Amino acid sequence: MIDTGVGPAVVLLHGFPHTHRLWELVVPRLSESYRVIAPDLVAGGSALELAGWLAGLLDSLGVERTAVVGIDAGVPAAVGFALEHPARTDRLAVMEAVLPGIAGAEAFAQRGLPWWFGFHQVPGLAEKVLVGHEREYIEWFLRAGTVDGAGIGPELTDAFASAYTGTQALASAFEHYRAMPRTAQELTPLLRERRLNLPVLAIGAQPVGPVLASQLSASADNLTAVQFDDCGHLIPLDAPDRLLAALLPWLNNV
């Protein structure tokens, strides 16, 4: 986990198959003005289960209020936290994800959901098939997540892969996917009954694009949508300068 800097808190939630190191190129700039907290979210769960876990983590760190930034599998947790703990959430930024069961992703779904969603959701299967091949599997995602397909380099790839090595680590990670039906059951009524009254920033790249902006448009009163062209799914590593150029003025309310 990263916990560095002094100032208003900003929580950064990574997705699959990442660790807190997904954010390492943007943390130095952010920590000049903010207390930056980037936990490891390797073990999955539903949106509200992870939101509760995050609330407990912030309690342990003495953080009462925070901005929350999520990408990929970190997005349901971020949205769940904002909905369940509005008094503790200053701002919400989300990137490159699809919220299960929420309208607005129809065009994306028509192209077919990613193949690994179904693979990861089958109880007990993927963690058995992949044991012994974790690095190759993780590297495939990391190469696919960069716009040029080059990946993120051997050292960081090794660091990510080590967090997902072994049957138990894989099974825990795949709970992000196996919990999707629960997440849909949790978020669908909440987004229908409650407003996101805080500033919301939705950033799209490749391949998800503007899906989150579309999904949150009916619930967010103050929504800013940004699209990064020629940028892969791993925005914090593939386009850190562009991410900071969008994130810092928004955090600073400029």
pLDDT digits (tens, 9 = 90+) for 67-92: 999 999 999 999 999 999 999 999 99
Per the prediction, the chain carries an average pLDDT of 97
13-33 per-position pLDDT tens digit = 999 999 999 999 999 999 999
The rounded distance, in Å, linking the Cα atoms of 46 and 236 is 24
Q: What pairs with residue 93 in β-bridges?
A: 69, 201
130-142 per-position pLDDT tens digit = 999 999 999 999 9
The rounded distance, in Å, linking the Cα atoms of 80 and 86 is 10
DSSP codes, 210-251: THHHHHHTTTEEEEEEEE-TT--S-HHHHSHHHHHHHHHHHH
Q: Which domains does the chain have, with CATH numbers?
A: 2-108+179-251 (3.40.50.1820)
Are β-strands 89-95 and 66-71 bridged in parallel, bridged antiparallel, or unpaired?
parallel
**Angle subtended at Cα 29 by Cα 72 and Cα 85, rounded to the nearest 5 degrees:** 50
Question: What pTM was estimated for this model as a whole?
Answer: 0.97
Distance between alpha carbon 68 and the CA centroid of its chain, in Å? 10
pLDDT of residue 113: 87
